Amino acid sequence: MDKFDKLTGVAAPMPLINIDTDMIIPKQFLKTIKRTGLGKNLFDEMRYDESGNEKPDFVLNKPAYREAKIIVAGENFGCGSSREHAPWALLDFGIRCVIAPSFADIFYNNCFKNGILPIALPQEEVDKLLDDAARGANAVLTVDLERQVISGPDGGEIAFEVDAFRKHCLLNGLDDIGLTMEKAADIDAFEAKRATSQPWLAGA
């Protein structure tokens, strides 16, 4: 998993509430178990018409937001089914941070496990960032995880909270496997000791 320390990028405004996981990545794209390749179908039903052509009014189809790295959204982002494909699709598109007043719990947890930082802020702070995001190509935000602040285009800063353990994992690029591998030396020592004291367990 890629480390997350400081992210600077265009923020796309999506002020809808209750953006669910089926909107993020529709069910017909859930057949794959790969984490890559889903970005082209992110928000598929909102991005494309029935003929597969882009809808020009959808925010991520607008030239200013095609390379967006941040989404500023309404409350209860990521509700619906618990599909992990939702953060996979966001990440494959290039989204590393989602800012909203609230998130669905399972989606929120899945984001951290996949290198995406979900930030919950009061509605009035989100409204300020939505206003910043409406500036198009000038809608550049900087998210500093170490300092836990978001810097807007005008230089103003908004502080945010994040669980210390999850912060550690993102800063160091540690998913569940990475956390286990941090204990590799202890695991090896245990297995060596057990092989000596209980060799029958190893088939010896």
| Overall average pLDDT of the 16-27 stretch | 97
Fold of the 6-173 domain: Aconitase; domain 4 (3.20.19)
Distance CA 175, CA 153 (A): 32
pLDDT of 191 over the 90 cut: no
What is Dmax (Cα atoms) for the chain?
68
pLDDT at 139: 87
The pTM of the full predicted model, rounded to 2 decimals, is 0.87
Average pLDDT, the chain: 91
Q: How does pLDDT run across 41-80, given as a tens digit for each residue?
A: 999 999 999 999 999 999 999 999 999 999 999 999 999 9
pLDDT of 185 over the 80 cut: no
- Portion of the chain with pLDDT greater than 90, in percent: 76
| Overall average pLDDT of the 107-117 stretch | 96
pLDDT at 201: 72
Distance CA 148, CA 116 (A): 15
Q: Which of 3-17, 45-59, 176-190 has the lowest mean pLDDT?
A: 176-190
Tell me if residue 61 falls in helix, strand or coil.
helix
What residue segments make up the domains of the chain, in order of their start? Answer: 6-173
Residue 199 pLDDT class (50, 70, 90 cuts): confident
The helix (run of H) or strand (run of E) holding residue 140 is strand 140-144
pLDDT at 154: 85
